[in-house]
Amino acid sequence: MDARPNRAYPHKWMYRLAVAAVAVFLILTPKTSLGQDREDVEREAGPPTLPATAAGNQLMWVLKVVNGQEIGDLKDHFSDRFIQTRGDDTKVLLEGLRQEVFEGGKVIVNKVLDGERENDISAEVTSKESWRYLHVFLMVDEKDGKIRGLRFAPAGGVGRNVGNWKQFDNAMNRVPEGVSFGAYELVPVNPNVEGSPLTMRVLAENGADRRLNVGATGYLYVVGAAAEEVAGKRMGWDDKVALKPEWNSLPPGEMRAMEGEHALREFVLRVMDDSDNTAADHLLHHVGRDKVEAYLAKMHLAAERNQPFLSSREVFALKTGKDKEMLAKFGVAGVEERRGMLAKVAALPLTEDAAEEWTDPTEIERVGWFASATECCRVMMDLHRLTQKEGMEPLSEALESNRGVKLSQELWPRAWYKGGDEPGVLNMTWLLERDDGRLFVMSIGWNNPKGEVKEARLLDLALAAIRLLGEEGRKREPAPAPRPKVDPNAAN
């Protein structure tokens, strides 16, 4: 379930950086040296140590302001033209950058990129509490040392330093609370037999068996159960399903505002394309809760964690409603007791206003849909199996409707994605077909019962993993042999 009613699509992961680009030039009045408090700044900004140049000194001051020092009068550090052009923006930038970009962590210099010149410097900054990096470029006037140009730009996140699976594992270990990650190649059980079923060959795992709340990624089981019914000729893609007000849920999705009957294929497409909660709930009820649970049990090692398999409306009603006693009771109840409570849950009121106020993790360890990274990948593999059957083109169309993030079409001609989130919960799961025909499945999830999870952080890691999958098993061209050294004084 995507628990954010105003989002048309789950996970549009473009994290904002409160940064501004400034490159203004002018002649300034002289300024005294700023080197007298170098020791204090180095403790805040280093290591490494910034050079004792005019530009290096000013960058030290900038980082002190970012770390909480009063900015004072801008005229003491910035040129008049700079102040006229971007003074107000720069004040907001410096005072807010630490919180907006680095979540309040002390900003330090990660490395000096270019600090040999007196009047300009470029460096990379980060925070021990963060995974993000920024490039900073600063210029001063050669006559008085005041700042005439200042630019911050994104330099990526922790994933950019990941060059192999061991480094990826180290990066995953920096994520607080519970994470679950698995990356696998889909290979034939018997390579010598045409049409052999596929199995998952482990490439990398980190807590892959840790069973977490996966949000709307759990809808994959509903889609799979529907596809099995069609493959078994018990249902058809063009079967009409009536929209019922009592099965309506909250956004995202447009089906809640629609009426009449719609083809089964449309419900599946809307679930995969924009995580339509109402479409998922209608699909669950039309296929049958028992059929969804039976499908899940074939590939899930703890099926009872998802029994009864809840609709998104039921989860919303429990977690956003005022009846906290019922939520607590449902969380600790056994399977049969939960089933007996479903009628009361269905009667709970459901409002968008209450969902808007849902900002804190709520029973994420006991109420929702639960799966490990391995189990998320396994259901993706089974959906691939179902697409190979006759008449399953609508399933393929639905699965290919959402790639999750922008991926190279050339490198990844086919990409299926399903994600899910609610406060304290985030999951991203893919099936990827590479340009050489190799198939991969990958799932990454994060639960934090104590607070929010950072979409940008998990996305950064996911993209790093996808990059490694793009390189997995490819033949590397051998490095050219070094040329023999020639002694110019040697005799011919």
Closest CA to 433 of 417, 448, 449: 417
CATH class for the domain made up of 21-156: alpha beta
**pLDDT category, 20, cuts 50, 70, 90?**
very low
Q: What are the structural domain ranges in the chain?
A: 21-156, 161-471
CATH code given to domain 161-471: 3.40.710.10
Question: In this predicted structure, what is the pLDDT of residue 86?
Answer: 79
Give the model's confidence band at 89: pLDDT under 50 very low, under 70 low, under 90 confident, else very high. Answer: confident
Q: According to the model, what pLDDT value does residue 30 have?
A: 26
How does DSSP assign 210-266, residue by residue? Answer: --EE-GGGGHHHHHHHHHHHHHTTSS-TT-EEE--GGG--PSS-SGGG--SEEEHHH
* pLDDT tens digit sequence for 416-466: 999 999 999 999 999 999 999 999 999 999 999 999 898 878 988 999 999
CB 153 within 8 A of CB 19: yes
Give the pLDDT band of residue 477 (cuts 50, 70, 90).
low
Confidence of residue 156 (pLDDT cuts 50, 70, 90): low
- If you average pLDDT over residues 265-278, what whole number do you get? 97
Per the CB < 8 A criterion, the answer to whether 355 and 250 are in contact is yes
127 vs 145, higher pLDDT: 145
How sure is the predictor about 260, in pLDDT bands with cuts at 50, 70 and 90?
very high
Identity of the amino acid at 316: F
